[in-house]
Amino acid sequence: MLAFPDFRGATRRLILANLAAYFLLLLASLAASSGASRFAGLLAFDPFAFLHGYLWQPLTYSFVHPGLLGTLFELLSLWFLAGFLEGFHNANWVMSLYALSVLGTAAAALALYLVALTLAPSLLGDAHALYGCFGGIFGLLAAIGLLYGDMQFMLFPLPIGIKARYLVVIYVLIAVAMLFGQERIYAFAQLGGALGGFAYVRMAPRRGFTFVVSESWFGLRNRYYRWKRRRAARKFEVYMRAHGRTVKFDGEGNLIDEDAEDKKRWN
């Protein structure tokens, strides 16, 4: 694959949202460096802070991009992987996959923090807050390796083709090797993002969780309206009986025309 996919749908929304967050933090850092650092620290995922009430961090840390080169690499990877998947799936599916991978990354970092805090604090190494969309990217890559394992990709920066499944294996092995270094919380979090992507592909609906939630909401709303209609029909039956007339409604609240039924019977 020597060209980037189309810039549309979920891919465009994700790229633009990350770019907007990057430039907002950059402008804030130019205006007041200390205040910007504190603000970025509030958005990055810190397991200790999350356990003490900073509940928004699993949703905001992926929009924090402090470095230009790292941000460029992440957004180009996000464009390529999300755009590739969007060529086979709709935008809701890709957005749900990315969101679950980001949350899986934060959940893995939190799990490692809790286990290390309880059993062996030295396992944390130089633990610090998580930031960047690497977890979502890892989840997208895992989904491609699982669904399109035979697809050939270029092994950047080398002009060598490699199948998607082998590329995923290489990244997983690198993350596993990083578990023995000082940034093991990052490595474990990446594996959590890959696990989130794997779980989504295996268990998610075909059209994504967003479609299922919207369908469930509209179904619930329609059931409520049908219940109101049946309730109004029962009240109308009581009202008409009180005035010496009898009317009947079916189970959906529709009026039963007995004269029409008699005419059909005799005709």
Q: Which of the listed residues 166, 185, 204 is the one where a domain comes to its end?
A: 204
58 occurs within a structural domain:
yes
Q: Which of 52-56, 81-85, 157-161, 218-222 has the lowest average pLDDT? A: 157-161
* pLDDT tens readout for residues 36-88: 567 777 888 988 889 888 999 999 999 998 888 889 989 998 999 999 999 89
- Statement to judge: residues 193 and 69 lie in one domain: yes
1 occurs within a structural domain:
no
178 occurs within a structural domain:
yes
Question: Containing domain of residue 76, as a range?
Answer: 9-204
Q: Which of the listed residues 204, 232, 254 is the one where a domain comes to its end?
A: 204
Mean pLDDT, the chain, rounded, equals: 81
3 occurs within a structural domain:
no
- So what's the pLDDT on residue 182? 74
List, in sequence order, every residue forming a beta bridge with 267; answer none if it has no partner. none
d(CA 237, CA 247): 6
pTM here is 0.73
Q: Which of the listed residues 180, 204, 228 is the one where a domain comes to its end?
A: 204
- Statement to judge: residues 193 and 235 lie in one domain: no
- Structural domains in the chain (count): 2
Query: What CATH number is given to the structural domain containing 58?
Result: 1.20.1540.10
CB 256 within 8 A of CB 249: yes
Distance (Å) of CA 18 to CA 25, 95, 110, 171, 191: 11, 14, 23, 23, 22
- Statement to judge: residues 58 and 162 lie in one domain: yes
d(CA 173, CA 185): 15
Other beta carbons within 10 angstroms of residue 203's beta carbon come to 8
